Amino acid sequence: MSDLTGLTIAEIRDGLKAGAFSAKELTRAYLSSMAAARNLNAYIIETPEKALAMAAESDRRIAAGAARPLEGVPLGIKDLFCTEGVHSQAASHVLDGFKPVYESTVTANLWAGGAVMLGKLNMDEFAMGSSNETSYYGPVVNPWRARGSNAPLVPGGSSGGSAAAVAARLCAGATATDTGGSIRQPAAFTGTVGIKPTYGRCSRFGIVAFASSLDQAGPIARTVRDAAILLRSMASVDAKDTTSADVPVPDYESAIGESIKGLRIGIPREYRMEGMPAAIELLWERGKEWLSAAGAAIVDISLPHTKYALPAYYIVAPAEASSNLARYDGVRYGLRVPGDDVIAMYENTRAAGFGKEVKRRILIGTYVLSAGYYDAYYLRAQKVRTLIKRDFEEVFAAGIDAILTPATPTAAFGLEAMALASPIEMYLNDIFTVTVNMAGLPGIAVPAGLSDEGLPLGLQLIGRPFDEAMLFRTGQVIEDAAGRFTPVPWW
């Protein structure tokens, strides 16, 4: 691991400005680290030539005194984001060979800010998974190991490649997406910071759709400050996405370091689940103590419809997925498997192109939208979603500034640990995160400690709509108290 790859984005910004190193030197250091860590399988494709060309342009701009906010910062891009002329396949075989002729708005914003693209990061296929084991390109391996064990662990999902790459110092930061916890859960599993912004804060244009009313882009970074820096560049209103919000994007970094004295932090009693591991319970208590010591008031609250969130989510999300994934038919782009007629070609292409988990969710989604079941399942789930949103609205209206919960029910588990379990056991990994997506709220996962096995654990903060600044402000208090967590390189 190079000294340069150990720098945070804030430190990179300062170092480049001071001339301590060049953008090309920094990029080469990352490319070297990536080459040495390919057994983690974090990257699907590396783009060294593109990265070095972008770094050279950054060096030119810095020398000319025209540096942009992210000038020379090397980033990894989740394979869900379309990048012009570069592999963009959502880690699925059905999009085999697809190289878009356009750029997603989020990545276009990053390149306009001076960032450097190192490559495309592995992920669960179509963002459907909580372990990064459903990728057509194989599972990502968590750079962490349990104490005294060499057993490989999952990095979480679906943004497992993003989280693993940031934790292993294979990029300074990464783009990710969150539909039901796919930023926050892998961040918690890898000791990194991940924020899912308010729905509409970042444009979804050019991001391969999973569930359109739930998907939201966000960053994974090493520190709260780095996440704030990245989100400011990623976020924007966009005429190409009618769900993007025309709301000013503040300077999130300026909120870091502000006092939280007098803030009211809610603790939802419904998140204290039966059978919760003692380590998670202890972590939550420690988080409350840290925030209280910093001057915040800890307030017990109720979110009574929380228990319905997971089943409602796993109706709404597959329903939207079944609609979105109907476009992959082998006609216009991606994989095509011939058949005797056009219907057979559709069937053969989809059978060969989609993985097992994607097929499962398409089937569930098609079922709940079908005649006779739409009212019983999908319509009822949408009503539950309204009640979940109302719970949060009432709590915030009562003066709560942010809500503190665990990020995950456990630490990272072993590769293939869920292979013999039912899909529901895997879905339970999202139990603390799906409510945030159902209500369209911002949520951040911050590393807060280690399990008894020496694996990272995270706390989650949930905020009011478009008040990500409050999450950065409060999250910094947790980071300052807990410290930062880095895996010991074994790869």
Q: Residue by residue, what is the 3-state secondary structure of the chain?
A: CCCHHHCCHHHHHHHHHHCCCCHHHHHHHHHHHHHHCHHHCCEEEECHHHHHHHHHHHHHHHHCCCCCCCCCCEEEEECCECECCECCCCCCHHHCCCCCCCCCHHHHHHHHCCCEEEEEECCCHHHCCCCCCCCCCCCCCCCCCCCCCCCCECCCCCCHHHHHHHHCCCCCEEEEEECCCCCHHHHHHHCCEEEECCCCCCCCCCECCCCCCCCEEEEEECCHHHHHHHHHHHCCCCCCCCCCCCCCCCCHHHHCCCCCCCCEEEEEHHHCCCCCCHHHHHHHHHHHHHHHHCCCEEEEECCCCHHHHHHHHHHHHHHHHHHHHHHCCCCCCCCCCCCCCHHHHHHHHHHHHCCHHHHHHHHHHHHHHCCCCHHHHHHHHHHHHHHHHHHHHHHHHCCCCEEEEECCCCCCCECCCCCCCCHHHHHHHHCCCHHHHHHCCCEEEEEEEECCCCCEEEEEEEECCCCHHHHHHHHHHHHHHHCCCCCCCCC
In sequence order, the 6+-apart residues with CB closer than 8 A to the CB of 459 are 283, 284, 287, 404, 405, 406, 407, 445, 446, 448, 478
CA distance 378 to 318: 10
The residue among 403, 390, 442 whose CA lies nearest residue 298 is 403
CA distance 67 to 89: 32
Reading the block at residue 51, the tokens are 């990265």
Instruction: Give 432: exposed, middle or buried? Use CB within 10 Å, 0-12, 13-18, 19+.
Output: buried
Strands 443-450 and 193-196: antiparallel
Q: Which residues are catalytic?
A: 78, 158, 182
